[in-house]
Structure formats: structure tokens, C-alpha cells
A and B are shown apart, each in its own frame.
Chain A
Amino acid sequence: MTLKVRTVQDFISNGESPEILFWVGCASSFDQRAQKITRAIAKILNSCNVSFAVLGTEEVCNGDPAKRAGNEFLFQMQALMNIQTLNGYGITKIVTGCPHCFNTLKNEYPQLGGTYQVIHHSMLLQQLINEGKLKIQGGKFLGKKIVFHDPCYLGRGNDVYEAPRDVIKKLDAELFEAKRHKANALCCGAGGAQIFKESEPGNKEINVERTEEILESKPDYIAVGCPFCITMLSDGVKTLNKEDSVKVLDIAELIEKANDL
């Protein structure tokens, strides 16, 4: 089945312009697991009749992994290419499916000539709920325990703690907090380009440490807001042999499930 998703190019050639650009990101475009989140976000936006567009094949890596790894050259190459594309289309509002893209576009692009109003998809979902455009049927999650894992670049990086929690609260589930949460949350281990290499010698993997802590509250679902956290925590759950009792889902997937999208 093909989703109804239009590119900016398509909007422009029809003499229209989208309300908001959905910046998908590399992981969410290519990684099979993360693609499901991307589809969930697109379905939700469609169900709320949000006029959104994607760059499609014109999008290139925003440069976050290169920058955090220390390759500022490569980062700025990517950034300037993207800014050229975005400015060329006159984009003003962007929603990202990934906290890393969110952080980079929002904070690091303005100085290079790309100033947009950038939000993470949890913030858009919260807005849609507040505006009454997104109504969530909570029944499916009644009595279920959900723990939210704060992505570093959403939480500490940009002080967004409540938007994803507000969304989860609409599911009629019980929202639990991990021992370390919000500003004190523990990283999943992927950031700073760690996901692209083996970790340095140590006595444990960070994702296992984090997953163990989250599982202490015996949740039915681990909710996340980042494709890298999805990978790391799913791996952690697999390592700990808990795949049957707990699912790792993005908040967009929770809504997709609740509303049967």
C-alpha cells in the first residue's frame, strides 16, 4: 500500500504550498524499523488533514552524526546543501521525526543562513491534540503501563519534556517514569555518532544499562521519540530476552495503534 504523501516539488508545480514540511531524516527514511514510525507520522498527519510535504529524494543527511563526531566540514557541507534546498522552496515551518534532525535544524542551521520554525513530531502531536484536530481513542491502552524514555536531544538538549508525556497521557494508560528521567534521564547510547561504531572497551553496553533500568517498573510499552533510541532499546530488550513482555514503540506508533490508522 502506498501512503498519500506529496513532495514539496509536487505542491509547487500545482501552484500550492504546504503548511509544514515533514523532515523525515536518514534513519527514518532507510531503516526498516524506523520507516514504520515515519509511516505512522504521515498517517496521523493525513488523518488530521494537515497539509504537509516531504522533500523526498531531495533531502540529504542534516549532518548531525558528522558534527558530533568532530567532522565540522562535512556537517557544514550537508547543512549548506539543505539550506539551499529549503530556502529555495521558501520553507518556513518544519516538523522532524527525529530529535537529532530537530536539534540541528532548529539550533545549528540559523547561523548558516537557514532559519525556520522547527518542531519535533511530539510537539506537533501535542498541538494537534490541543487544537482538537487529533482525537485519541484510548481504549486500547486501558490499564497498560507505559514508560517514556527521554531522547537526549529532545529533553536535555532542548528542554522538551512535557509534549511527549502529554500525548501519552491521552492514551488512558498509566504513564510511569524511569528512575532517571527528564533532565536526569540516561542516554540510550546512540548519540554523538556512537551508533556508527563499536563502543570503547568497558564493562557494559549503555543500551543494556538503560533498558534494565526502564524494565524495573515492568512496563508493557517503552515509548520513545527517536529512531536511534528505538534501535538501542529494542536491542536492549532483545539482549535481556524480554521481547515477549514489552514493546518499544514511538509515540506516533502508539497513536497509530490507538486510532487504528
Chain B
Amino acid sequence: MIQAIIFTVILAAGIYFFARNVGRIRRNILLGKPLDRNDQPAKRWKTMLRVAFGQSKMTVRPIPAFFHFIIYAGFLIINIEILEIMIDGVAGTHRVFSFLGSLYDFLIAGFEVLALLTIVACVVFLARRNILKLKRFWSREMTSWPRSDANIILFTEIVLMTLFLTMNASDQLLQLRGAEHYKVAGAFPVSSLITPLLEGMSTDGLIGLERFCWWGHIIGIIAFLNYLPYSKHFHIIMAFPNTYYSNLKPKGEFTNLESVTQEVKLMLDPSLPPPPPSDTPMRFGAKDVQDLTWKQLMDSYTCTECGRCTSVCPANITGKLLSPRKIMMDTRDRLAEVGSNIDKNGTFKDDGKTLLNDYIKPEELWACTTCNACTEACPVNIDPLSIIIDMRRFLVMEQSEAPAEWNGMFSKIENNQAPWQFSPADRFNWKNEE
């Protein structure tokens, strides 16, 4: 009874804090500019099912895809077990789903196999990061926190799965010994391998171990849930909405700034009526996170820093500063900073910092070839390119800080209608020469 009360309190607190943090992230995302991504719902559901649920873009790299799929399947399926644990915890029951009989045996056996596979996959991933030291996990923006974040996640998952298997092992022995409350239920193909190690323990000792593992497992899960909003691991939730709100247009198509259209139309035809004055000063392009759209901000919370974008970026491959992953990490870091600023001050109080310059340097932005390799590579349809372009727009149109050669190219287009120094009268000369 006391256990049930304690459990209910911990569970409620865990859910409350998680909901509060998710609420803050939601508010941060909505600091972005409006953008309509509610069209074509059927296509959006399909994209989400294919890309997030079906992990279709992971398959480009088969080895991590395989191990990632195991952890993903483990996560989804073991949730059924967590449901049982929660009911047991609140109601004070034990293995409440055991009435399912042979189906229950099958489920428990399946969870055990998945738990073991998850441990194997986590060990493989830890090895790839820390022993093989794959390049994309050690590039410039992978400073100590992003590297630790990944290791904490993998290590926690191993601990959780180990607790789960040890819990089953002790439970299984208690069932065999006919201990009170421990009704015979479940099949234990993996934890049976641990039981021989526990056979020497007293029944009270086993009950202690079973309870310790049960509590450790569920408290670990609640703690892990609350770690998510602070971690790159938040992608396990964000991948779904983020792929739903994917850009469904051709990748080559960039947005046309409507504010610019108004001004250009006025320039070409001064007889048009000027647009009504607006209360907020207009800004072309993006200087800080509030200038980006909510989808670009959502992208930043979805990024799990896998680095596939950076590993295919032609600029990054050839040693330039630009890294699309860093663009996303910087956007999220700055957005989190703006969010805490709002939490502290009620509204955003100017802190003298901006995403541009304080986080992202113009040199990074200039190096992009707009080739879309990053957006193609992202397993959850994040679009770093649109952020790069919006920041270029700010630098070029608001600050007139384009590289000198680009300014030259601009004036050639203005003066002779081509990006090179040629006379417009010579444009059709190609038909003559041979």
C-alpha cells in the first residue's frame, strides 16, 4: 500500500515535470514565425509513417540502421511492459497482465529477447563512438557535452535493460520457490541464463533484489523521460511531428519572401499603392532564432546530432568551417538560451547576443553550395539549408555584408543582366560562332 502511494507520487511528479518542460519547448518553438504546414494531410501522414515510423532514410547506412532499428523496436515494444509496471505500481498488483496466459508468456519472452538485443546494440554504438571513434562523432561541434550526452543515453539504456532482466531472473526463481505474490507467469528465455547466479540467495534476498530492480527500472525510466527534453535524445518524440510537418515541395525550391515581392513590385511600378504600415519593423532574413519559422525551430529540437548531414556536406568534407549539424545545434542552444531568458524575465530581455555572430559565423554561411545533400541525408527530414539561406538573406539585404565578389556579381546582374561582365547585346552571339 505504501509502495503504491510512493510510486503514484513519483510517477505523477515525473509526468508533471516532463509535461512542464515539453510545454516550455512548445512555447520556444512557437516563438518562430508562422508557416503553413497543414496542407496535404494524407501525404504528411504517409511521410511520417515512412520516414519516422518506418525509418526509411536510415537504411542508407545499413549497419547503424540495423542496430538503431533494434533499439527503436525495443523502445516501442517494451512500452507495453512499462504499461504493466505502471498499473502494478499504482494498483499494488503483480504482473497484472498475466491473465493473458500463453500470450503473456510470448510477450515477456519477446521483451527479454529485445532487451538483450538492445544491450548488444548499445554496446556496439558505444564502441563506434568511443573505441572506433567514427569521424562524424568527433568533429568540431562534437564538444564534450554532445559526446557525453550520447554516452549517458546508451549507458542508461544498458542499465535499464539489465535491471529488467535481473528483475525477471529473480522473479522467476521466486515463482519456482512458490513465494507469496509471485504467481507463475511469463517465459524467460534470456533471464534464465542469469538465474543460476542467483540460486544461492535466500527468498528474502531475492524479493529484495526483485523489488530493487523493479523500482530501479521504473524510476530509471521516469528519470530518463525527464532527461529527454534536455538531450539530443528528444528525437524519439520529435521525429514524428517533425516528419509530419516535412517540406513537401521539391528540395530545389526556396521560399520567395513576400515582403520583398511587395517592395519590388512598387519599384517596378511606382503607381501601385504602398502597403499599409506595420507595427513591427520588417526584417529580411534571420539574425536570431525569433526570425526563423516554427518549423526551423522544431527541426533544431528534433536533431539528434547523428552528423549524417555534415558527413555528406561538400563544404565540410573539404575542410571548410560549415557543418549543417552545427547550424542545428547552435539554433537549439540559442533557442534554449532565449527560452530561459523568458522564464526568468517574463518576456525576452535583450541579452546582447544573437544566433548570427555569437553562434554562427558568416564564414560558415558563405561556404554552402545549397546542394541539399544535408536535407537528403537527414533521417528525420531536418532542413539546415533553409536556415543558412535565411541568415545569408539577413547579411546580404540588411547588413550589405556579402563577400566582395558577390557584390560584384550582384551589380553585374543589375547592370548587364548577367552575373558576368558581358553586354546584353551579345547574348544571342552563341548562334554565330563555331
Contact = CB atoms under 8 A, between A and B. Distances in A.
A204 B318 CA distance: 5
Contacts of B11: none
A138 to B, nearest CB: 25
Interface string B300-321: 0000000000001011011111
Contact of B425 (A2, A57, A74, A152): A57
Contact of A206 (B253, B260, B314, B392): B314
Given A54-B428, A69-B396, A199-B367, A157 B410 contact: no
Given A29-B430, A60-B424, A77-B264, A69 B392 contact: yes
A73 B265 CA distance: 10
Given A5-B431, A69-B409, A69-B410, A206 B369 contact: yes
Interface residues of B, number: 72
Nearest to B363: A200
A184 B60 contact: yes
A80 B427 contact: no
Nearest to B425: A57
B405 A198 contact: yes
B88 interface: no
Contacts of B367: 194, 199-200, 202
A243 interface: no
A76 B261 contact: yes
Interface string A163-207: 000000000000000001001101101111110111111111110
Contact of B397 (A56, A71, A180): A71
Contacts of B430: 24, 28-30, 35, 38-39
B66 interface: no
Given A112-B256, A201-B319, A209-B317, 7 more contacts: A68-B370, A69-B410, A80-B268, A156-B252, A184-B312, A192-B371, A197-B403
Interface of A: 1-3, 5, 7, 24, 26, 28-31, 35, 38-39, 42, 54, 56-57, 59-61, 63, 65-74, 76-78, 80-81, 103, 106-108, 111-112, 152-153, 156-159, 180, 183-184, 186-187, 189-194, 196-206, 209-210
18 contacts: A35-B430, A39-B434, A42-B431, A61-B418, A68-B254, A73-B397, A76-B257, A80-B268, A103-B250, A103-B253, A158-B252, A183-B376, A184-B377, A186-B373, A199-B367, A200-B320, A200-B321, A204-B318
Interface of B: 60, 249-254, 256-257, 260-261, 263-265, 267-268, 284-285, 312, 314-315, 317-322, 363, 366-373, 375-377, 389, 391-397, 402-403, 405-406, 408-410, 413-414, 417-420, 422, 424-434
